[in-house]
Amino acid sequence: MGPVRADRPLTVVEDGLFDVGLGEMAVLVVLALVIFGDKLPQVAGQAGRMLRQFRQMADSAKADLQEGLGPEFKDFDINDLNPKTFVRKHLFEDEDTTTPTANGTGLFDDTPLPSKPAGPLPAGERPPFDSEAT
């Protein structure tokens, strides 16, 4: 089995599920039939119910987390915390970056860029001071 590349999805037939091939999967099914026998439908039903309950608990926890974060995080997606998703989102998706245009507007807003850099101050003049700056 080769490495999984980000530009092609993982497929069950080609790569196997959890690195288990089709032959190994067939052996597991036969082994389950031998071990559980007549109770296999009951065991499968219990496993399905447990999986459904687990998904409901996970969805509930996710909703509680988003509710607790408040309205400013309503667009927050918990899957963005997954490192693979983060890398895929920021490296493999097209970026919507803007560049300065010919009319002189800047990158972040529509304020015009200065036409020329500020020159040196005349002798004796104090530079402007912003009390809120660090």
Element (H, E) at 42: helix 40-69
Give the range with max mean pLDDT: 36-45, 78-87, 104-113: 36-45
Tokens of 30: 């036969």
pLDDT for 12 beyond 80: no
Q: What is the mean pLDDT of residues 102-130?
A: 69
Output the pLDDT for position 72. Answer: 81
Query: Which of 19-23, 45-49, 92-96, 128-132 has the lowest average pLDDT?
Result: 92-96
Task: Read off the pLDDT of residues 45-83 as tens digits, 9 standing for 90 and up.
Answer: 999 999 999 999 999 998 888 888 888 877 777 777 888
Residue position matching structure tokens 């597991």: 28
Q: Are 99 and 107 in contact (CB under 8 A)?
A: yes
Tokens of 122: 């005349």
Q: What is the mean pLDDT of residues 86-114?
A: 63
Output the pLDDT for position 57. Answer: 97
